[in-house]
Amino acid sequence: MIRAVVLRAEWDHDNDNYRIVHQDEPPPQFPAGLLEWWDFRRYGLPPNAGGMRDQPLGWMDRCQQLAEAYRVWSAWTACDKGPEWREANPEMTRTALQLREMVYG
C-alpha cells in the first residue's frame, strides 16, 4: 500500500514526469484505507459504526501512516531537494529517503 501511496503522490504532483518514469503503469488509485482516513478526519465518522474500539485492529495506525507517507512524498516531489530544504525539514527528509528506499530500492 505504501508503494501505491507514493506513486499516487507522484502522479498528483506531476503526471507528465510520472508517465516518463513509469511508462507502462496506469495512474494508481488511492488505497481504500487512505480514502477512509480522509473521510474520518473530515467528517469525524469512522468507517464502521461505533467508536474507535469498533474499528478493525490497527486501522487508525495504518491509515495514519498512509496519510503521512502521502504528505511527505508530496512535499518531497514538490520541493527542490536542496540542502536548505533538507536542513529545514530533517524529519521529512529522513522519511522521504526511507520511502524512496522502500519503493525504488
Cell digits for 37? 482516513
- Rounded to two decimals, the pTM is 0.84
- What single letter denotes the amino acid at residue 74? S
In tens, the pLDDT along 39-58 reads: 988 988 777 776 666 778 88
Average pLDDT over residues 29-39: 90
Average pLDDT over residues 61-70: 93
Average pLDDT over residues 68-96: 92
Average pLDDT over residues 80-90: 91
Residues in the chain: 105
Domain boundaries defined on the chain:
2-104
Q: For residue 36, report the phi and psi dihedrals to the nearest 5 degrees.
A: -60, -40
Q: Do 22 and 7 contact (CB within 8 A), yes or no?
A: yes
